[in-house]
Amino acid sequence: MPKRVAVVGVGCTKMGEHWDKSLKDLSTEAGALALADAGIDGKDIQALFIGNMSAGRFIGQEHLGAMAADQAGLTPIPATRCEAACASGALAFRKAVNAIKAGEYDIVVAAGAEKMTDIKGAGAIAALMGAGDQEWDGSIGLTFAGLYALMARAYMEKHGLTREELAEIPVKNHKHGLNNPYAQFNFEVKKEDVINASKIADPLTLLDCSPITDGAAAVILVSEEYAKRFKNPIWVLGSGQASDTLALQNRKSLTEISSTEFAAKKAYEEAGIKPENVDVAEVHDCFSIAEVMAYEGLGFCEKGKAKDLIKSKDTYIDGKMPVNPDGGLKMGHPVGATGVKQIVEIVKQLRGTAVNQVKDARIGLTHNIGGSGATAIVHIFGKE
Amino acid sequence: MPKRVAVVGVGCTKMGEHWDKSLKDLSTEAGALALADAGIDGKDIQALFIGNMSAGRFIGQEHLGAMAADQAGLTPIPATRCEAACASGALAFRKAVNAIKAGEYDIVVAAGAEKMTDIKGAGAIAALMGAGDQEWDGSIGLTFAGLYALMARAYMEKHGLTREELAEIPVKNHKHGLNNPYAQFNFEVKKEDVINASKIADPLTLLDCSPITDGAAAVILVSEEYAKRFKNPIWVLGSGQASDTLALQNRKSLTEISSTEFAAKKAYEEAGIKPENVDVAEVHDCFSIAEVMAYEGLGFCEKGKAKDLIKSKDTYIDGKMPVNPDGGLKMGHPVGATGVKQIVEIVKQLRGTAVNQVKDARIGLTHNIGGSGATAIVHIFGKE
């Protein structure tokens, strides 16, 4: 009988340009918030896991596990950094779950942190391409917006998605983020604003893209035995992770992300649920088209039918399948932190304390993607 | 009752300057050798773990898990990159052990790979400082040789270790590496050669330092149930990991690495053995002084008594406590691969097939350090 794992504390910094805070500051702030939320002390923590994509390039710092443990005063506990590009946060969380299931610890912290705005000029864009294939994607001058633009063009052509329909994704997410106190932006956009914004990589405009963000998030995980000591534990019902080719050109299809499908299948099976049982989801909308493909990969609609789901407005918080109730990555995407930030939101949703609370949410899902889909990690959470 | 995990296949590339091989090539070569050694196919592998310190800075590539899985044709299996500076390899191995103990997989590959020679000029030295504290160690111009030189000076002063005695470490390791087909160097050095070599950071000379290396190593791990299918499985008896302050200046002592002591204590307890039960060890001799401190941290001698152990020549392969029978890091230190390369050697020793075979070796230990000691990971292995 596998052990069960619960989340009992969550914390998150504001997403944005933190000129006055270092990566150390941000990770410690998120961790302290999570500890306070759980009502425990740092000395209770037995191990630390941190997701970070590219601090080596952003700020010249590797060895992020020890950095975070040191700054938080948690040494000599084991401290592990996990990396899978923009899926680093969910990866760190997954390894934390594993460590508890292996019987090694009863109470650990899983965090994600990224400081992206210290690097000059196009440096952040170049660093982000480390998530793709340097030999095949990077060497021909592709940026990440370029990679997703290629997918957007192929998807629009194949499934008849219009530019207007695609623009509905950022419109929804900006609306959801309007009252999110952690969001990098708090303004609404209209469909025309999205379509007429500066072109980044045709057909994607500035408003189709998630921003460059500094931020961190942390959660406290405990074993089933320890969970009894906490009020309102939120259980990890399922976890799935999958890989795909690093280079976009080697994919079998440009209009679907197969790693999402593999990871979701595993997570749904482990949780013993189906897509229609999910009450609320945080999906990886690094670009508007990514959310469209996530709807299909996660089974929220059939292949090619995302446009109908968009039209129905069922992915708004009061719809049948609310997606990104906090505004998603569009409201801040500190790459290595994003996967944990998504979990923070879903835990709040299942506790019933989210800012944009989805009514009667009992089962929540997080979906975190690395690069153009070479990694996908899906987690499913539930309340008692 | 915790599950047991065994190593059933090992592989390692030659250590050196591989101008004709990429990081993809090296990791795949090591993985293929490990699969062949285990007598299995890639399709049998359920998950991949890879240790890498700084490919983002060395070659502009992050997302190493997906990269390695893709190149080896293993997609869509879950692929995880772990990083703890020069302890990344042992960290990846430890997470692989955990994943099997958690009941998630029965057969996985754990690898380590680093391509360090593609970066120009002092770039590698700068990238390596990402293992230290950028704010405190890096900003004042310290290099890694500088950090270990500070520790060497403090140790020599406190415990009366002479320059001549310190030089015996590289002398031994070069002698051990002489017939190692994977070694970056195959030549002996005399004590005078070490002392009179170019000064890198006083008192350390060029011959006290491990080299800049391209290389990769991989091992196949299986659950207890699967181990029955393989001849001569080597068991993971114990595993320990600990952290310490990232910046050297914040340590309680410069003459001991406390993370080694915490990690070793945990590993010994889990294995149910004492230091004197270890028949052969691979320790982290990134600099000669590091091996000296490892003797004490691992309990091979009392604090301050390493000079007696050096004088006794008991750390030679025919001594009472053979250390680094393949020449250690001195024969090549591809930072993220080193921790796995150490495991490859210890598995061979316990199988009785090592080039410099330690007679009747039944229990082996690996000791992998990140940075100046902010991470330490110790594993203990045994045969049936």
Give the ipTM of the model, two decimals please. Answer: 0.97
pLDDT (0 to 100) of residue B100: 97
Coil vs helix vs strand at A132: coil
Q: Which of A22, A66, A241 sits opposite B84 (nearest CB)?
A: A66
Q: Kindly tell me the number of DSSP H helices and DSSP E strands found in chain A.
A: 13, 11
Nearest residue to B364 via CA among B377, B336, B339, B383: B383
Q: Give the mean pLDDT of B53-75.
A: 97
pLDDT at residue B378, as a whole number: 98
Burial of A177 (0-12, 13-18, 19+ CB in 10 A): buried
DSSP A138: G
Encoded tokens for A22: 């270092």
- How large is the average pLDDT for residues A150-160? 98
* A120 pLDDT tier (thresholds 50, 70, 90): confident
For the structural domain made of B5-121+213-234, what CATH number should be given?
A: 3.40.47.10
Task: Name which of A62, A80, A259 is nearest B131 (Cβ-Cβ).
Answer: A62
- By the 8 A CB rule, do B283 and B173 touch? no
Best to test chain A binding among B50, B62, B224 (most A CBs inside 10 Å): B62
Chain-centroid distance of CA B165 in Å reads 23
Helix (H), strand (E) at residue A6: strand A5-12
Residue in chain A nearest B261 by alpha carbon: A76
- The whole-angstrom separation of Cα A34 and Cα A26 is 12
Cβ–Cβ under 8 Å, residues B317 and B178: no
> Taking residues A262-287, what's their average pLDDT?
98
Q: Do A63 and B245 touch (CB under 8 A)?
A: no
Binary contact (A244, B130; C-beta < 8 A): no
pLDDT at position B345 is 98
Average pLDDT rounded to a whole number, residues B75-91: 98
Best to test chain A binding among B27, B50, B246, B261 (most A CBs inside 10 Å):
B246
Residue B28: CA atoms inside 13 Å, Cβ hemisphere, count? Answer: 14
**Residue that has been written with the tokens 């504001």 in this structure:** A14
Give the rounded distance of the alpha carbon of B382 from its chain centre.
18
pLDDT tens digits, B209-226: 999 999 999 999 999 999
Please name the residue of chain B whose CA is at the shortest distance from the CA of residue A134. Answer: B61
Cα(B297)–Cα(B168) distance, rounded to whole angstroms?
19
For testing contact with chain B, the best of A116, A246, A335, A369 (most B CBs within 10 A): A246
Distances (CA, A) of A380 to A57, A329, B89, B145, B352: 32, 19, 30, 47, 47
Beta-carbon separation of A76 and B250 below 8 A: no
> How much is the mean pLDDT over chain A?
97
Tell me: pLDDT of A180 over 70: yes
- Find the CB nearest A80 among B66, B76, B91: B91
Distances (CA, A) of B86 to A379, B129, B229, B288, B333: 31, 11, 33, 16, 9
pLDDT higher than 90, residue A121: no
pLDDT tens digit sequence for A19-72: 999 999 999 999 999 999 999 999 999 999 999 999 999 999 999 999 999 999
A122, A212, A269, A300 from A119: Cα distances, Å: 8, 11, 42, 38
pLDDT at res. A48 = 98
Selected residue of A48, A63, A134, A375 to mutate for chain B interface (largest B Cβ count, 10 A): A63
- Backbone φ and ψ for B182, nearest 5 degrees, come out as -95, -5
Q: How far off is chain A from B224, nearest CA to CA, in Å?
A: 14
Q: How far is CA B276 from the centre of its chain?
A: 21
Catalytic center residues of A: 86, 333
- In terms of DSSP H, where are the helices of A213-337? 224-227, 258-271, 288-297, 306-312
Task: Write down the pLDDT at residue B1.
Answer: 45
CATH 3.40.47.10 positions along chain B are 5-121+213-234, 130-211+238-382
The residue annotated as part of the active site, out of B12, B82, B86, B209, is B86
Instruction: Please name every residue paired with B381 in a beta bridge, in sequence order, or none if there are none.
Output: B236, B364
The pLDDT of residue A122 is 83
Distance from CA of B336 to the nearest CA of A (A): 11
H-helix or E-strand containing A241?
strand A234-243
pLDDT (tens digit, 9 = 90+) per residue, B126-153?
999 999 999 999 999 999 999 999 999 9
pLDDT at A1: 44
In A, minimum Cα distance to B65 occurs at: A84
Q: Do B66 and A243 touch (CB under 8 A)?
A: yes
Collapsing DSSP to helix, strand or coil, A319 comes out as coil
Q: Please provide residue B111's backbone torsions phi and psi, each rounded to the nearest 5 degrees.
A: -130, 170
Predicted confidence (pLDDT) per residue in B318-375, tens digit: 999 999 999 999 999 999 999 999 999 999 999 999 999 999 999 999 999 999 999 9
CB B133 within 8 A of CB B251: no
Q: Which chain B residues are Cβ-neighbours of A49 within 8 angstroms?
A: none
Cβ-based contacts of A262 with chain B (< 8 Å): 76
Strand, coil or helix: A340:
helix
Tokens at residue A162, please?
């219009």
At residue B52, the pLDDT reads 98
CA geometry: angle A129, A69, B108, nearest 5 deg: 60
Average pLDDT, integer, range A254-283? 98
Residue range(s) of every CATH 3.40.47.10 domain in chain A: 5-121+213-234, 131-210+236-382
Q: What is the pLDDT of residue B121?
A: 74
Asked if B76 lies within 8 A of A246 by C-beta distance, the reply is no
Segment A311-349, tens digit of pLDDT: 999 999 999 999 999 999 999 999 999 999 999 999 999
Banded model confidence at residue B3, pLDDT cuts 50, 70, 90: confident
* Residue type at A198 in one-letter notation: S
With CB atoms and an 8 Å threshold, state whether B63 touches A135: no
Instruction: Tell me what percent of the residues of chain B surpass a pLDDT of 70.
Output: 99
Does the distance separating the beta carbons of B85 and A84 come in below 8 Å? no
Q: Considering the entire predicted model, what is its pTM?
A: 0.98
Please say whether the beta carbons of A284 and A368 come within 8 A: yes
Query: pLDDT-derived band of residue A2, with 50, 70 and 90 as boundaries?
Result: low
B83 and A63: CB-CB below 8 Å?
Answer: yes
Looking at residue B2, its pLDDT comes to 58
3-state helix/strand/coil string of chain B: CCCCEEEEEEEECCCECCCCCCHHHHHHHHHHHHHHHHCCCHHHCCEEEEECCCHHHHHCCCCHHHHHHHHCCCCCCCEEEEEECECHHHHHHHHHHHHHHCCCCCEEEEEEEECCCCCCCCHHHHHHHHHCCCCCCHHHCCCHHHHHHHHHHHHHHHHCCCHHHHHHHHHHHHHHHCCCCCCCCCCCCCHHHHHHCCEEECCEEHHHECCCCEEEEEEEEEEHHHHCCCCCCEEEEEEEEEECCCCHHHCCCCCCCHHHHHHHHHHHHHHCCCHHHCCEEECCCCEHHHHHHHHHHCCCCCCCCHHHHHHHCCCCCCCCCCECCCCHHHHCCCCCCHHHHHHHHHHHHHHCCCCCCCCCCCEEEEEEEECCCCEEEEEEEECC
For chains A and B, CB pairs below 8 A equal 211
Per DSSP, what are the bridge partners of residue B323?
A: B281
Class of domain B130-211+238-382: alpha beta
Active site residue B333: yes
Q: What's the pLDDT tens digit per position in A207-220?
A: 999 999 999 999 99
Domain A131-210+236-382: assigned CATH number: 3.40.47.10
